[in-house]
């Protein structure tokens, strides 16, 4: 019997993280160089419901039933089974691997869920649409992040640049003029769950002040979408700088992220900001001819990884391999 394999990419948020949780729009793009992969093999000698799961990146090798009931991998399997009205999944072995760093702001949890849900639906012989895969991944995201906006599960499942606003139909962005982003690791893990809950506490304490920051971020994101549609990406740089400063106001940046963002700008980046939940994790810098100078300076100043990604309209890919 063949193996059932599915993948999902990492992501970066170009504009609008955190504000998107409060109903403002955000723009996210897939990072195809980073991938989560789920491979499922039937165990013909096993009984239905016997599912072995291994994820060497987190040193996990267990029977699914021995994981906590709210373990994200277990919830992902339960979601697919429930969606397809199956009491028991046929015996199988699931292997999860990922090149997306964990706790990085690069969408690792959403990508793992999405790849697993897609591979499992293929293994079960049921067709799940992208919307259904994304919705099931969203349910798993609620365990990771508490109150996710839904942007991560959508961008990694649809694998295309998205303009996302809760409650509105999702828009795929067509990138008129492709541009380049350097993605740099701050050397410290991020913590999206904590960042999201810290922002929520601040918003509950000072609703007017925080609402104002969210709507300013929303305006930046709307302007960014116009520039992307007009094929004017260089102008995104100053908007990234403004977005970073508002993320500082939200309290989700760190001294190290601020330093690296400033380093990127000083070395010639057109703009830079943290990306994702923050409190560590990654920053992104819009670059043109000065890629090498920005990369070198970031590494000298403590970034633990720097790599280049192109932002372009990606055609939808086939669902499972
Ligand atoms: C995390 O990638 C983005 C946040 O806005 C959380 C969310 O949208 O669910 C911080």
Below-50 pLDDT ranges, the chain: 318-321
How much is the pTM?
0.95
CA distance 125 to 113: 18
The residue nearest atom 10 of ligand 1, judged by CA position, is 277
Cα-to-centroid distance, 203 and ligand 1 (Å): 15
Cα-to-centroid distance, 25 and ligand 1 (Å): 11
Q: Candidates 1.10.10.10, 3.30.230.10, 3.40.50.300, 3.40.50.2300; correct CATH number of 4-172?
A: 3.30.230.10
Cα-to-centroid distance, 2 and ligand 1 (Å): 36
CATH number for region 179-311: 3.30.70.890
The confidence score (pLDDT) of residue 143 equals 84
Q: Which of 71, 46, 68, 228 is nearest to 140 (CA)?
A: 71
CA distance 198 to 234: 33
The confidence score (pLDDT) of residue 2 equals 85
Q: From the candidates 66, 70, 152, 232, which is the catalytic residue? A: 152
The answer for residues whose C-beta is within 8 angstroms of residue 307's C-beta and 6 or more apart is 33, 182, 183
Rounded (10°) CA dihedral 220, 225, 227, 229:
-170
**Ligand 1 atom index nearest CA of 110:** 2
**Ligand 1 atom index nearest CA of 147:** 9
Q: Cα–Cα–Cα angle for 52, 191, 77, nearest 5°?
A: 25
- Is 288 annotated as catalytic? no
The confidence score (pLDDT) of residue 316 equals 53
The confidence score (pLDDT) of residue 150 equals 96
Pocket test for ligand 1, best of 277, 282, 284 (most atoms within 8 A of CB): 277
Cα-to-centroid distance, 275 and ligand 1 (Å): 9
**Ligand 1 atom index nearest CA of 195:** 10
Give residue ranges with CB within 6 A of ligand 1: 13, 17-18, 20-21, 145, 148-149, 151-152, 192, 196, 276-277
**Ligand 1 atom index nearest CA of 151:** 8
Q: Cα–Cα–Cα angle for 173, 238, 35, nearest 5°?
A: 45
The confidence score (pLDDT) of residue 313 equals 84
Domain ranges of the chain: 4-172, 179-311
Cα-to-centroid distance, 23 and ligand 1 (Å): 12
Task: Tell me whether the CATH fold assigned to 4-172 matches the one assigned to 179-311.
Answer: no
């Amino acid at each position: 019997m063949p193996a059932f394999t599915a993948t999902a990419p990492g992501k970066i948020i170009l504009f609008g993280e955190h504000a998107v949780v409060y109903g403002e729009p955000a723009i996210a793009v897939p990072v195809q160089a980073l991938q989560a992969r789920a491979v499922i093999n039937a165990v013909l000698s096993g009984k239905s419901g016997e599912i072995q799961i291994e994820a060497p990146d987190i040193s996990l090798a267990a029977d699914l039933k021995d994981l906590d009931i709210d373990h994200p991998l277990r919830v992902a399997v339960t979601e697919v089974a429930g969606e397809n009205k199956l009491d028991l999944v046929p015996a199988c072995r699931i292997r999860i691997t990922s090149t997306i760093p964990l706790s990085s702001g690069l969408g690792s949890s959403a990508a793992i869920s999405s790849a697993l849900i897609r591979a499992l639906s293929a293994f079960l012989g049921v067709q799940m649409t992208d919307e259904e895969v994304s919705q099931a991944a969203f349910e798993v995201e609620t365990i990771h992040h508490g109150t996710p906006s839904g942007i991560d599960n959508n961008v990694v499942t649809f694998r295309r640049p998205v303009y996302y606003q809760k409650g509105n139909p999702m828009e795929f962005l067509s990138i008129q003029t492709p541009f380049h982003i350097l993605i740099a690791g701050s050397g410290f893990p991020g913590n999206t769950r904590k960042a999201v809950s810290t922002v929520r506490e601040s918003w509950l304490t000072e609703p007017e002040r925080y609402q104002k920051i969210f709507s300013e971020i929303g305006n930046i994101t709307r302007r960014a979408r116009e520039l992307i549609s007009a094929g004017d990406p260089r102008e995104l740089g100053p908007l990234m700088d403004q977005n970073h400063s508002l993320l500082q106001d939200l309290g989700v940046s760190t001294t190290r992220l601020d330093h690296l963002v400033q380093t990127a700008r000083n070395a010639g980046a057109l703009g830079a900001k943290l990306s994702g939940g923050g409190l560590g994790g990654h920053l992104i810098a819009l670059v043109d001819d000065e890629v090498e100078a920005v990369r070198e300076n970031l590494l000298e100043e403590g970034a633990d990884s720097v790599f280049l990604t192109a932002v372009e309209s990606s055609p939808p890919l086939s669902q499972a391999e």
